[in-house]
């Protein structure tokens, strides 16, 4: 049976097979980061937003939605405080990342409201009807036993037969990288296999900027299939560290930090036979 991979595990292998070995084969723990934590918080805010009943939002929906998003942010940020405090941020850094996350969410909300108002004007819908029409299905897990891969799609948008699969990113650069493209290609493959139809587009909401889309075509789906099979061929049955060579790059060490496994690769730190269990901090973070 094929090991079930994910877009994250596949991209980790492509970045560095040795890192994949430590993280996914030995299951060695990784350290939380501000980017991971605030990304999780932002995802939860948007996921919760779409559970609201639009009929409960007044005619002053612009103001109401802003207040709702800000309150959701405060709520999930406070729930993540144990993880945030474990990072050792200065008060200035802590405030900077909170304000930046707030600005990201309000930027996304402004664009979402524009889409709502455009639909209200072109289709003659009320706010409640437009909100409902644009409301995505959120955070759905798809698994393919055929390809041995699974993934969580942040938002599945469907309106009048047109389907878009969207992901939220807090990246500073609004650019669909090779890693993002592969992630989206896998989502499109999973969706088509399950529903028997192809989404028209996949894309990313760069919360700091705007959305970027890719058309779903044969080339994109073939790209996903090839990369998935490449990883299975390299990892299925491969149990030795020698099967996972190091791939040195600027992602090993940078000015502000280093890979969680840097010392094992470059400073001869002994690899534990039995990796330590996840810390309470990591377990809590994964539940946020």
pLDDT tens across 38-73, in order?
999 999 999 999 999 998 887 899 999 999 999 999
Q: What does the pLDDT average to over 232-250?
A: 95
- pLDDT for res 278: 54
- Does a structural domain hold residue 175? yes
Q: What does the radius of gyration of the chain's CA atoms come to, in whole angstroms?
A: 21
Q: What percent of the chain has a predicted confidence (pLDDT) above 70?
A: 94
Higher pLDDT pick, 280 / 200: 200
Q: Is the domain of 58 the same as that of 35?
A: yes
For 188, other C-beta atoms within 10 Å of its C-beta total 25
- pLDDT for res 160: 87
Q: Is the domain of 34 the same as that of 86?
A: yes
Burial (0-12, 13-18, 19+ Cβ within 10 Å), 60: exposed
What mean pLDDT, rounded, does the chain reach? 92
To which residue do tokens 């980017």 refer?
35
d(CA 159, CA 131): 11
- Does a structural domain hold residue 243? no
d(CA 24, CA 15): 13
- pLDDT for res 283: 45
- Does a structural domain hold residue 222? yes
- Does a structural domain hold residue 98? yes
Provide the token pair at 80: 């993540």
Q: Is the domain of 130 the same as that of 160?
A: no
**Confidence check: pLDDT of 1 > 80:** no
- Does a structural domain hold residue 95? yes
Residue 3's pLDDT band (cuts 50, 70, 90): confident
Q: Is the domain of 180 the same as that of 155?
A: yes
The predicted-structure confidence for 138-186, as pLDDT tens digits, reads as follows 989 999 999 999 999 999 999 988 999 999 999 988 999 999 999 999 9
Residue 284 is part of which domain span?
27-135+272-288
- Does a structural domain hold residue 33? yes
The predicted-structure confidence for 103-132, as pLDDT tens digits, reads as follows 999 999 999 999 999 999 999 999 999 999
Provide the token pair at 40: 């999780």
- pLDDT for res 277: 59
**Confidence check: pLDDT of 286 > 80:** no
The 8-class DSSP code of residue 56 comes to G
**Confidence check: pLDDT of 230 > 60:** yes
The predicted-structure confidence for 188-201, as pLDDT tens digits, reads as follows 999 999 999 999 99
- Does a structural domain hold residue 266? no
- pLDDT for res 102: 98
Q: Give me the number of domains the chain comprises.
A: 2
**Confidence check: pLDDT of 282 > 50:** no
d(CA 238, CA 232): 10
Residue 276's pLDDT band (cuts 50, 70, 90): low
Q: What does the pLDDT average to over 258-285?
A: 75
**Confidence check: pLDDT of 134 > 60:** yes
Q: Is the domain of 177 the same as that of 219?
A: yes
75 CB-near residues (< 8 Å, 6+ apart)? none
Spatial strand order of the sheet with 149-159 comes to 137-144, 149-159, 162-169, 201-206, 211-215
- Does a structural domain hold residue 76? yes
DSSP 3-state of 106: helix
To which residue do tokens 């409902």 refer?
132
Q: Is the domain of 111 the same as that of 209?
A: no
- pLDDT for res 285: 42
For 206, other C-beta atoms within 10 Å of its C-beta total 23
Q: What percent of the chain has a predicted confidence (pLDDT) above 90?
A: 85
């Amino acid at each position: 049976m094929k090991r079930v991979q994910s877009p994250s595990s596949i991209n980790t292998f492509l970045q560095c097979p040795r890192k994949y070995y430590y993280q996914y084969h030995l299951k060695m723990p990784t350290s939380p980061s501000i980017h991971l934590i605030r990304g999780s918080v932002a995802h939860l805010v948007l996921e919760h937003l779409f559970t609201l009943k639009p009929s409960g939002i007044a005619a002053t929906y612009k103001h109401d939605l802003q207040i709702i998003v800000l309150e959701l942010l405060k709520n999930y940020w406070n729930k993540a405080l144990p993880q945030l405090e474990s990072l050792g941020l200065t008060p200035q850094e802590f405030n900077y990342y909170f304000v930046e996350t707030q600005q990201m969410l309000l930027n996304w909300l402004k664009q979402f409201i524009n889409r709502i108002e455009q639909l209200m004007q072109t289709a003659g819908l009320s706010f409640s009807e437009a909100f409902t029409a644009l409301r995505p299905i959120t955070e759905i897990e798809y698994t393919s036993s055929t390809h041995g891969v699974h993934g969580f799609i942040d938002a599945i948008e469907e309106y009048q037969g047109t389907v878009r699969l969207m992901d939220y990113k807090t990246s500073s650069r609004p650019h669909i990288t090779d890693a993002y493209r592969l992630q989206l290609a896998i989502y499109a493959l999973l969706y088509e296999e399950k529903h028997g139809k192809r989404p028209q587009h996949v894309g990313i909401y760069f919360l700091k900027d705007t959305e970027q889309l890719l058309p779903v075509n044969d080339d994109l789906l073939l790209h996903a299939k090839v990369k998935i099979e490449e990883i299975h061929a390299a990892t299925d049955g491969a149990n030795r560290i020698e099967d996972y060579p190091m791939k040195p790059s600027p992602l090993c060490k940078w000015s502000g930090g280093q890979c969680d496994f840097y010392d094992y690769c470059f400073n001869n730190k002994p690899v534990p036979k039995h990796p330590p269990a996840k810390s309470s901090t990591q377990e809590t973070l994964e539940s946020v």
